[in-house]
Structure 1
């Protein structure tokens, strides 16, 4: 019985990463079929996952800007919270940080 439940869990978890249908966090899918999910972390910033793998980490700096650091290397600086922009701004599931 435990093996059956574990198999169902793995099947559901695998499908959840490929689509926003089963995700309660802010989620979007790009034209290439990549799924991006954002989750707020304890420090007030948030992590972005692409297809289930950590893609970037974003936090607010002391000067008020936001820095997104990519797992592959490099970073991007924003002058406003990128989590309040498309594709997450109009997400019916809500916006991280509200």
Structure 2
């Protein structure tokens, strides 16, 4: 009986991790069902994870701009912190203007 309950718990936990239900970090889900979680790292930048895999890293450059580098290659430059304003909220995947 304990094994059955443990199995049910694992299935429930697996489903919850695919959404923002149990996540305390900034989190969003797009229309395709992808979940994006943003975490601040020790250097002051941000790591964004898509469905648990590293998607991008954002940091401030010496000239004051912010650079988001994608794990798949490429980058995007912002003139203000994309993780602080409405830009990030309305564009969870960072795809606008790319």
TM-score under structure 1 length normalisation: 0.75
Could you say which structure has the larger radius of gyration? 2
Gaps of 5+ in 1: 90-98
Q: Matched residue pairs, number?
A: 87
Gaps of 5+ in 2: 91-98
Secondary structure at the aligned position of 1:43 is classed as: coil
CA change 1:42–1:6 in 2 (3 A) is farther
Tell me the C-alpha RMSD between the 2 structures: 2.3
State the structure with bigger RCO (CA 8 A, min sep 6), 1 or 2: 1
Task: Find runs of 4+ consecutive structure 1 residues off by over 4 angstroms.
Answer: 4-7
Question: In the alignment, which residue of structure 2 is the partner of 1:65?
Answer: 65
Whole-angstrom CA distance in 2 between matches of 1:64 and 1:7: 49
Whole-angstrom CA distance in 1 between matches of 2:63 and 2:20: 34
Secondary structure at the aligned position of 1:82 is classed as: coil
